[in-house]
Amino acid sequence: MPNNFTTQQILDLEAVLSPPRFGTYLREASGDRHKAMELYCWNTDISAAFYVMLQFCELSIRNGAVEAVEAVFGPNWHLNRGFAYTLPVLRGGRGYQPRNDLQTCAARLPTAGKVVAELKFAFWQHLFVRGQQARIWDTQFEIAFPGYDKALTLAQGRAQMFGHIEAIRKLRNRIAHHEPIFARNLTEDRDQIRQVIEWRRPGTAQWVDSVEQVTTLLAKRP
C-alpha cells in the first residue's frame, strides 16, 4: 500500500478512521503522524495477507471436525438430538450458545452442507472441548488430523487445537472488524495457523508456505 501521504491526506484519513482509532497508531509512533500512517498501512497489508492463511486454516478446522462428527453421529448429525445435547449451554444465556446455533441453522436450512456453511467459527471450537474427547476425538482425531504431532497424546493434541483456535478466532475477529493487530505476536499467530493446516494436511501447509505473504511483511514492520 502506498505510504507517501501528504499532510492533508493524513488529516483526511485520520478523520475517516476517527481520532481514537488513529490515536492507537499515533501512540505507537510516538506522535509522528507520518510514521503512524506507515504503521496503519502495514497493519492493513498484513491483515489482508492473513486472510489467505486464515481461509485454509478455517477450512481445515471445519472440515476435519465435520468428518469426525459424521463418523460418530452419521451424515445427518445436524439433526441428531443426541449430538446437539453434547454441546454446552452457557449459564444465564449469555455469550455464544453452540447448541442454539446448531438447532437454529438445522431448522431453517435443508442440508448438512448448508448448515456447515452457516455455523459460526466458534461452533467448531466448542467441538474441541475436553467433554468431547472420549465421545469424538479418541477415535477420530488422528483420522481428521493425520499430520498432528505424534509426540502428543490424543488428548494433548485436542487441547492444543482448542488453544490454537481460541487465538486464531481472536485474530480473525480483530481483522474482520478492522482493528489493529500490530501489537499481537503475529509470528506466533502465523505459526499456529500453519500448524493447524499442517495437522489437517501437510501438503496443503507446504503449498500455503509458497503463496503466503505474512512472513515477508513481518520482516517489513515499520
Give the domain ranges of the chain. 7-218
Residues in the chain: 222
What pLDDT score does 136 carry? 98
Angstrom distances, CA of residue 89 to CA of 46, 119, 145? 36, 16, 27
Q: What average pLDDT does this structure show over 152-178?
A: 97
Spatial distance between the Cα atoms of 188 and 27, rounded to a whole number of angstroms:
24
| Of the candidates 126, 141, 142, the residue with the CA atom closest to the CA atom of residue 86 | 126
Distance, in Å, from the CA atom of 36 to the CA atom of 31, rounded to the nearest integer, reads 8
Question: Which ranges constitute the DSSP H helices of 90-185?
Answer: 98-108, 112-118, 121-126, 138-144, 154-176
The reported pLDDT for the residue numbered 70 is 97
**Mean per-residue pLDDT, 31-54:** 95
**Looking at residue 3, what is its pLDDT?**
63
Contact 217, 39 (CB under 8 A): no
Average pLDDT score over residue span 85-105: 87
pLDDT 10s digits, 46-89: 999 999 999 999 999 999 999 999 999 999 999 999 999 999 88
Map residue 165 onto helix, strand or coil: helix
pLDDT exceeds cutoff 70 at 93:
no
Q: Residue 14: pLDDT band by 50, 70, 90 thresholds?
A: confident
Res. 135 pLDDT band, cuts 50 70 90: very high
Torsion of CA 119, 211, 67, 111, to 10 degrees: 40
Integer Cα distance of 127 and 87 in angstroms? 8
- Average of per-residue pLDDT across 154-179: 97
Stretch 104-133: mean pLDDT: 95
Alpha carbon distance 121, 60 (integer Å): 12
For position 5, what pLDDT does the model report?
Answer: 82
**Rounded distance between C-alpha atoms, residue 109 and residue 118, angstroms:** 9
| Averaged pLDDT, 154-169 | 97
Residue 2 has pLDDT above 60, yes or no: no
DSSP one-letter code for 93: G
Grid coordinates standing for 71?
Answer: 463418523
HSE value, Cβ hemisphere, 13 Å, CA-based, for 44:
12
- Work out whether the CA dihedral 12, 15, 20, 21 comes out positive or negative: negative
The pLDDT of 113-142, averaged and rounded, is: 96
Tens digits of residue pLDDT in 22-32: 999 999 999 99
Give me the pLDDT at residue 11, please: 87
Banded pLDDT at 92 (limits 50, 70, 90) = low
CA distances for 98 relative to 76, 77, 87, angstroms: 17, 14, 6
